[in-house]
Amino acid sequence: MDNLCSAARKVFRAALKAVDPYKAVYDSLAIKGTVLSLGGKRREKRPYDLTRYKRILVLGAGKATVPMATACEQILKKRIDKGLVITKYGHSGPLGYIMVIEAGHPLPNTAGLCGAQKIVTLLKETRADDLVIFLTSGGCSALLPLPVPPITLSEKKKLTDLLLRSGATIHEINTVRKHISMTKGGNLARLAYPSTVINLILSDVVGDDLDVIGSGPFVPDSSTFREAWDVLEKYNLKSRLPKSIIKHLRAGLERKVQETPKPGQPYFRKVKNRIIGSNLVALKAAETKARDLGFETLILSSQMQGEARALAKNYAAIAKESVKSGHPFSPPVCLLAGGEPTVTVKGNGLGGRNTELALALAIEIQGLDRTTFLSGGTDGTDGPTDAAGAIVNGSTYRKAIKKGLKPENYLAHNDSYTFFKETGGLLITGPTRTNVMDIHIMLIG
């Protein structure tokens, strides 16, 4: 079992390494003489000849922008003419050419607003012979807040709160939000036009949909003011919303203000959105590592969602089948998955979705030999704890019972962190500076 446990840690570390923000940018930008190309496995057909560009701007927003910007400086050095990235308080670091603004997250504040205004101004000033390298990572949306004036940040917050409580779908919420924003829904692409834009993205969104990550600042928006208005009517929100928002949406409906940039419009011709780090990228690196360690591998999905303890049942069913009949593969096998499960909190215990998933799985696989499972948050934190997740195996349950602890009780109280604190098995990494959601590693030896 110890070998499997150590192998699981190695596989997790390999996953983290692949989505390190500095490394991801460094590996995806390749420079040779005056030619910049987007590296990685999907090498760009049309490289960027830097002699064609008068200026290079490095901009961005997100919790990981500082290490991403550091990589840009390493590669482009003095060629960077202007640089400004916005990151969360406490996430700054030393940069040579690029300015950093720290701002509020997850609640946007005026620091973010000022930063967003500066980025908008810089993009407005770009010309056809400029190259913009934009750095997107988790938190981008909150760190780049710019409602259309005179809508204020607090009015925008009120809108979001009302929409969230209304029962509107995430698609409906985004439709409204994109139509009151100066940055989201393709608006940055319009501002940057006709310069060349490379948007390097570290995705923390299930499914990696470009129009969802950071609310798609460089992606065409196919939703309309009409649809945004319909959402307000559907959920009966018109009377409860700030007047500034109603006024702007009505103006949009009457075509007095511009629609968000639509698919097929010229703004996107010179824009390249490139996902350089994602849950799937992490899973693929984990897969490579697991193969090196001698495991047959299978990536189930990078899009796992739903209640953590229900997911545990399904993972356990797959592990049991592998042990019993060699399906989907005979051991040694490494099953990999990732995503963002949820926990419906009913107790007042301490834990995150990773420790809860691991505890639920420990209950399901009790007595199953040679099976080890690791669930870890790639950002190194799991809920309000100092752990990234936990590692369990077929003996975890029995060992807890021997200590007089009842795993089912800890699960019932959402007290998974405390359970592992008492029995061992916590996965501690410290902050990783990256975030591509969670990684689940099942090793059957």
* Residues of the shown chain interacting with its own copies in the complex, contacts defined by CB under 8 A: 207-208, 280, 283, 298-307, 310-311, 313-314, 317-318, 320-321, 324-325, 327-328, 337, 339
Is the Cβ–Cβ distance between 360 and 323 less than 8 Å? no
- Nearest CB to its own copies, comparing residues 222 and 305: 305
Tell me how far, at minimum, the Cβ of 378 lies from its own copies, in Å.
Answer: 17
Tell me how far, at minimum, the Cβ of 213 lies from its own copies, in Å.
Answer: 14
Tell me how far, at minimum, the Cβ of 402 lies from its own copies, in Å.
Answer: 17
- Nearest CB to its own copies, comparing residues 339 and 394: 339
Looking at the chain, the number of H-run helices and the number of E-run strands are 16, 15
Q: How far apart are CA 113 and CA 104, in angstroms?
A: 10
Tell me how far, at minimum, the Cβ of 207 lies from its own copies, in Å.
Answer: 7
- Nearest CB to its own copies, comparing residues 245 and 311: 311
Tell me how far, at minimum, the Cβ of 333 lies from its own copies, in Å.
Answer: 12
Tell me how far, at minimum, the Cβ of 336 lies from its own copies, in Å.
Answer: 9
Is the Cβ–Cβ distance between 358 and 419 less than 8 Å? no
Give the number of other Cβ atoms within 10 Å of residue 18's Cβ.
23
Residue with tokens 């405390």: 418
Is the Cβ–Cβ distance between 59 and 132 less than 8 Å? yes
Q: What are the E-state strand segments in 34-164?
A: 35-38, 48-49, 55-61, 80-88, 99-103, 130-136
Tell me how far, at minimum, the Cβ of 314 lies from its own copies, in Å.
Answer: 5
- Nearest CB to its own copies, comparing residues 123 and 163: 163
- Nearest CB to its own copies, comparing residues 119 and 337: 337
Q: What stretches of 212-307 show up as alpha helix (H) in DSSP? A: 225-234, 243-253, 279-292
Largest CA distance in the chain: 71
Is the Cβ–Cβ distance between 363 and 407 less than 8 Å? yes
- Nearest CB to its own copies, comparing residues 130 and 172: 172
Tell me how far, at minimum, the Cβ of 339 lies from its own copies, in Å.
Answer: 6
What angle separates helix 21-28 from helix 2-18, to the nearest 10 degrees?
A: 60
Q: Render the burial of 281-312: b for 16+ CB within 10 Å, e for the rest.
A: bbbbbbbebbeebebbbbbbbbebeebbbebb
Tell me how far, at minimum, the Cβ of 217 lies from its own copies, in Å.
Answer: 22
Tell me how far, at minimum, the Cβ of 255 lies from its own copies, in Å.
Answer: 28
- Nearest CB to its own copies, comparing residues 130 and 287: 287
Q: Where is 422: in which H helix or E strand?
A: helix 416-423
Which residue in 83, 153, 72, 82 sits closest to 114, CA to CA? Answer: 153
- Nearest CB to its own copies, comparing residues 117 and 303: 303
Tokens (6 digits) for 138:
């988790």
Residue 235 main-chain phi, psi, to 5 deg: -100, 10
- Nearest CB to its own copies, comparing residues 28 and 366: 366
What angle separates helix 153-166 from helix 170-178, to the nearest 10 degrees?
A: 160
Tell me how far, at minimum, the Cβ of 343 lies from its own copies, in Å.
Answer: 13
Is the Cβ–Cβ distance between 253 and 299 less than 8 Å? no
Instruction: Kindly list the distances between the CA atom of residue 437 and the CA atoms of 16, 142, 216, in Å, as whole numbers in the listed order.
Output: 11, 17, 19
Q: How far apart are CA 182 and CA 121, in angstroms?
A: 11
- Nearest CB to its own copies, comparing residues 130 and 204: 204
- Nearest CB to its own copies, comparing residues 127 and 402: 402
